[in-house]
Amino acid sequence: MKAAVLTFPGSNCDEDLLWAVKEIARQEATLVPATTTTLAGYDLVLVPGGFSYGDYLRSGAIAKFAPVMTALKTFAANGGYVLGICNGFQILTEAGLLPGALQWNTSLTFVCEPEPLIVANATTAFSNQYTAGQKLSLPIAHGEGNYYADDETLAAIEANDQVVFRYAANPNGSLNDIAGLTNAAGNVMGMMPHPERAVEALLGSTDGLGVFDSLITATKGAAHVAD
């Protein structure tokens, strides 16, 4: 698998993702700056956490104007796998690659803690190494992770089985306990919890490895996605 890890000014989990994919999952991966205009040749694009452009207006609201986002849309439209984590999830919703939006946690505070999750759908490219109903613990670290979509959109998401992870003890007010979901086509996923922070026993948990292993499985033998 060949992965691109996007990096926007203000991203701060880009190096962590690179480490997880390269050093732990042992896959090819490179950092790709937000000024890049093509993503041809990658199997997977990872949109990392952090505070792109400071997240000053709304999280992800400025990042969507970066040049690489046009390339990302093409990449996704061609069926390439895209995973946005935390700020990456926020960017993908702002860019319209995923439905809904993320607003302030109901506590109005940032929260960093290990979060119990339930695998809602284990048939996606991002979760095929888990089993449905499996309990996981992945770290969260966000202030704006409260998932919102209007009733109609939410119903469509559920009808289409797009929810991949749900919170077991909703920490932020997300509708339907949504912690991670895909687009309708199933090739783009966003999630607030950080799987890349749970890939080494030394750091406390390896529950996040399944996300990367699932993608390796999904892309095995897959031809690189054309631009």
Confirm whether 224 is a catalytic residue. no
CB of 23 to another protein, least distance (A): 9
Q: What angle do CA 24, 194, 16 make, to 5 degrees?
A: 45
- Near another protein by CB under 8 A: residue from 80, 84, 88, 100: 100
Which one of the listed residues 13, 86, 94, 115 is annotated catalytic? 86
The token duo for 11 is: 């991203």
Using DSSP's 3-state secondary structure scheme, residue 55 falls into: helix
C-beta closer to another protein: residue 80 or 208 = 208
C-beta closer to another protein: residue 43 or 55 = 55
Find the DSSP H helices in the chain: 14-19, 68-77, 87-94, 151-159, 209-219
Window contacting another protein (CB under 8 A); options: 45-53, 120-128, 182-190, 209-217: 45-53
Quickly count: other Cβ atoms within 10 Å of residue 175's Cβ: 16
The token duo for 3 is: 């992965």
Confirm whether 196 is a catalytic residue. yes
Q: What angle do CA 205, 209, 214 make, to 5 degrees?
A: 155
Return the amino acid letter for 97. Answer: L
113 near another protein (CB under 8 A): yes
C-beta closer to another protein: residue 155 or 203 = 203
The token duo for 121 is: 């759908």
Structural element, H or E, at residue 28:
strand 28-33
Site string for another protein, 55-94 (x = CB under 8 A): xxxx--xx--x---------------------------xx
54 near another protein (CB under 8 A): yes
Using DSSP's 3-state secondary structure scheme, residue 20 falls into: helix
Confirm whether 112 is a catalytic residue. no
Binding residues for another protein, rule: CB under 8 A, are 9-10, 12-13, 15-16, 19-20, 49-51, 53-58, 61-62, 65, 93-94, 99-101, 103-113, 139, 141, 143, 146, 148-151, 173, 194, 196-197, 200, 202-204
